[in-house]
Amino acid sequence: MGYGQRPFEMRLINKVLLFTAAMAVSSSLKAQGGSGQNFTQSPYSNFGVGEWTGMNFTQAGANMHTFSGAYSHSLTNPATLGNLRYAAFNMGVAYRGGDVQTEAGERQTFNGGGMQYLSLGYPTWTYDKRTKLEDSAGKKTYKSTPYGILSAISLSPLTTVGYRYAFENNEPFLNRTTHTGSGGLNNLQWSHAGHLGKHVNLGYSVGRIFGQLRDNSLFTVPDSFDLGAIQDTRSVVIKGMQQQVGFLLQGNLDSNTHSLGASYTWYSNVNAERSRLTRSYDLSSSGGLILRDTILRSVDQNGTVTIPASFGVGYQFQYRRKWSLALDYRYSDWGGFQAFFDPATKYAVRQDYGLTFTLNPSDEKARNERKMPVPVRLGGVWSETQQVFTSAGQEVQIGEFKAFAGFGIPMIRRYYDNSVITSVLHVQAQYLQRGSLQTGLAQERYFQLNLGFQLGDKWFQRRKFD
């Protein structure tokens, strides 16, 4: 028996992993530097720590607490990791485009996107306890009870910031101030789950959150080359810890599977440092800016940030391997949010309600199947966000609606030893609407296209052959 060359798939996946790692490092460095990913242009992201992403695997849809498979899990409930059977790599990217419209008819368009998540999950320890049974006829049978410890490391955005607006003033002379924001928070998460028999999973995760929120304002005097311009850049660097605990209960009744999952998330040791850089420029005759002087360079304040804890629960009904229906709910009281860089904004309780219908929900090819059926997902999320604004003398809590439809493309490979790898390319289209013109506030409408890559463990093995 000698060692031959690795198969083409192995060489290909090495290149994919190398490219993905480079993208992850690049995205992390950008987030630390303040630019982040160009993933939103929302005036509502101009407050607090930005727009909450609620990031999860593409194949999970809106199922945050009971989505659990042989190759993937949920980023919200670590207990869902307990059903992972193979080492699995998941990656997601997205394109997003849309517009923001005001009641006065002003409109801004947006095109952007970026990396959504990276995750590598793997079994750490598995044990199958077999108990000998003997019926009245003397026939021997065995009862199998699985146990295991599984782990995963993942990187995903927690919040995103992106906005652009301008103010014009005629006093004491015509002038304009333009504000541009970018950045967001990311979460590098290490998760563990225990699989305790056939019905109970328990999970825990710890994450490092990091990122930067950046606001750049430019004061200019249109059509004047004498007064110049002033650029004021303010940035807030945030670092801290996130922790999650969760459970997943599963039981079979006839041909149906019932799942109940819940999670609790909290944050600790979240600190922020705010800095400011103000410079003056001359407007050249060619229309460019020439640096004239640095007016202010300082780190003016350090302090803690109180990000509220959240609780969520979900239920899923699955009929054989044919279809499943999942209901999800998540609660977080943003009235307790405190940050020295955002002292006056009022926030409310955020509640998210999700519904996901999946046709062919299994992410693994069964032995008796000639071909793996194509998984198809439909669903939506209604959110009462934490944003509260006053319009026409009345307080308005911003609502958000998301609807999505997606499918998976199975890629089955069979090896010389008759082992099978199940990998799936997931495609999903999503429509999002936030706010309403009837309230006198801005309305946002986005179309988003997600691609999720699910790669099974045979990709990561070195093969030997004669």
pLDDT tens digits for range 368-405 = 888 889 999 999 999 999 999 988 788 999 999 999 99
pLDDT at residue 102, as a whole number = 81
Phi, psi of 117 (to 5 degrees): -160, 155
- Residue ranges of the chain with pLDDT lower than 70? 1-38, 132-140, 142, 222-227, 283-288, 414-419, 457-466
**Three-class SS of 117-155:** EEEEEEEEEEEEEEEEEECCCCCEEEEEEEEEEEEEEEE
Q: Which two tokens stand for residue 293?
A: 């002087």
CA distances from residue 256 to 61, 73, 168, 199 in whole angstroms, order as listed: 21, 20, 62, 14
What contacts 223, CB < 8 A, 6 or more positions away? Answer: 174
Q: Which two tokens stand for residue 41?
A: 């242009």
What CATH number should be reported for the domain whose range is 40-84+120-407?
2.40.160
Query: Domain extents for the chain?
Result: 40-84+120-407
pLDDT at residue 344, as a whole number = 85
Q: What is the dihedral of CA 328, 187, 364, 406, to 10 degrees?
A: 60
Sign of the torsion angle spanned by Cα atoms 168, 341, 96, 355: negative
- Please tell me the pTM assigned to this model: 0.86
